[in-house]
Amino acid sequence: MAQGLKVLNAVLPQDVKLETKEYDFGARRYHASGETLTDADLADLKQHDAILLGAIGDPSVPSGVLERGFLLKLRFAFDHHVNLRPSRLLPGVATPLAGQPEIDFVVVREGTEGPYTGNGGTIRKGTPHEVATEVSVNTAFGVERVVRDAFARAQARPRKKLTLVHKNNVLAFAGHLWTNVFNKVAEEFPEVTTDYIHVDAATIYLVTDPARFDVIVTDNLFGDIITDLAAAVSGGIGVAASGNINPSREFPSMFEPVHGSAPDIAGQGKADPTATVLSVALLLRHLGYDNEAIRVEEAVSADLGGRGETPRTTDEIGDALAVRAAG
Ligand SMILES: NC(=O)C1=CN([C@@H]2O[C@H](COP(=O)(O)OP(=O)(O)OC[C@H]3O[C@@H](n4cnc5c(N)ncnc54)[C@H](O)[C@@H]3O)[C@@H](O)[C@H]2O)C=CC1
Ligand SMILES: CC(C)CC(=O)C(=O)O
Ligand SMILES: [Mg+2]
């Protein structure tokens, strides 16, 4: 987060007065107060133009408390239904894939529905006969708006190709809703080439033929999973950025790295801040600072291309990016 703010401050024009407010929403606050995200927090956050989020989640907090009580609550409350996750393999950047395939696609992940809504429960908890359900919620309204957004994004890109990723052979009810809506909206975008791939096969192609993808639209869970894989093949989880977008702008959109809190390396100065810095670029573009966003992306591109074997600390990478972005 510190490196993201460093680059944001370095790149903004002199006459733009940036006002930031820092919130301590992580494990520390939870342990001190038992709170994750209150109505008062939401009212306060709502006044901002955008939110930059550092990942949350800590082994000292029961799994899901912060993820569900803070992160998902915020995404749902601010109707972040377009979860945008671009993947681009920059020249000279290492990938575990053979050769150096062209990778330049964006995943439009639905952000407010699917199995993440907390619609479920458990009976006979803790017994050998426990039954747990986690119902995937898919509404025609929710699916249509994200599918339409993805079509518009595909239409605006040179290749104009949109792939629906789902599992409609097995998840028949949700799958058919997604497929029907996708096919219906496709009629309004005759220039966009469409494609359908089951999510399990999509994980094959993301490794064997990632160049086939331009824009992918998918549900909340599938999008979560395939974007970690997409990150792994296109420069690593340390460089994958995301935006949780509220297209109507009724609420502030939120920008965050794709990765989590990386507790295995936390506090060691090893985390790559590039994912957060590229999330800053998405934030800048969302607010209309296109030139500044490009400068940040070019700084990252130059830095990644020029990375040698010598490891640098989180802070050193942030400094280098800020200097490059400032021009
Ligand atoms: N948006 C958010 O706030 C998210 C929070 N989480 C939470 O984060 C915690 C850890 O989750 P994990 O499943 O371990 O996923 P993770 O993404 O935190 O870590 C997975 C692997 O990637 C590495 N990694 C992550 N970010 C990195 C970076 N910037 N530079 C270099 N390496 C990096 C980690 O060291 C680890 O080996 C959990 O509590 C989880 O719920 C997970 C995903 C998203
Ligand atoms: C921690 C989860 C709620 C979210 C997640 O893994 C993600 O959005 O990538
Ligand atoms: Mg994830």
- Give me the domains of the chain, ranges plus CATH numbers: 98-234 (3.40.718.10)
Q: Which segments are annotated as binding site for Mg(2+)?
A: 200, 224, 228
Ligand 1 pocket test target in 52, 237, 316 with most atoms within 8 Å of CB: 237
Whose CA is closest to 75, among 256, 311, 214?
256
> Whose alpha carbon is nearest atom 34 of ligand 1?
262
> How far apart are alpha carbons 157 and 86 in whole angstroms?
13
Measured from the CB, is residue 199 less than 6 Å from ligand 2? no
> How far apart are alpha carbons 117 and 134 in whole angstroms?
9
Contacts by residues 55-59 (CB-CB < 8 Å, ≥ 24 positions apart): 55/256, 55/257, 55/259, 55/260, 55/261, 55/262, 56/25, 56/26, 56/27, 56/261, 57/27, 57/260, 57/261, 57/263, 58/26, 58/27, 58/261, 58/263, 59/263
Percent of the chain predicted with pLDDT > 90: 95
Measured from the CB, is residue 86 less than 6 Å from ligand 1? no
Measured from the CB, is residue 72 less than 6 Å from ligand 1? no
> How far apart are alpha carbons 130 and 234 in whole angstroms?
41
Residue-wise pLDDT tens digits, 266-324? 999 999 999 999 999 999 999 999 999 999 999 999 999 888 778 899 999 999 999 99
Indicate which residues carry an active-site annotation.
116, 167, 200, 224, 228
133 φ/ψ angles, rounded to the nearest 5 degrees: -125, 150
Residue 224 alpha carbon to ligand 3 centre in Å: 5
Residue-wise pLDDT tens digits, 50-72? 999 999 999 999 999 999 999 99
Measured from the CB, is residue 275 less than 6 Å from ligand 1? yes
Whose CA is closest to 244, among 260, 226, 256?
256
Ligand 1 atom closest to the Cα of residue 256 is 1
Q: How far from 171 is each of 38, 61, 199, 223, CA to CA, in Å?
A: 35, 33, 11, 15
Residue-wise pLDDT tens digits, 194-251? 999 999 999 999 999 999 999 999 999 999 999 999 999 999 999 999 999 999 999 9
Cβ partners under 8 Å of residue 110, min gap 6: 81, 82, 83, 142, 143, 146, 217, 218, 219, 220, 223
ipTM over 0.90: yes
Ligand 2 pocket test target in 37, 53, 65, 67 with most atoms within 8 Å of CB: 67
> Whose alpha carbon is nearest atom 7 of ligand 2?
224
Measured from the CB, is residue 71 less than 6 Å from ligand 2? yes
Instruction: Find where tokens 């507790």 sit.
Output: 263
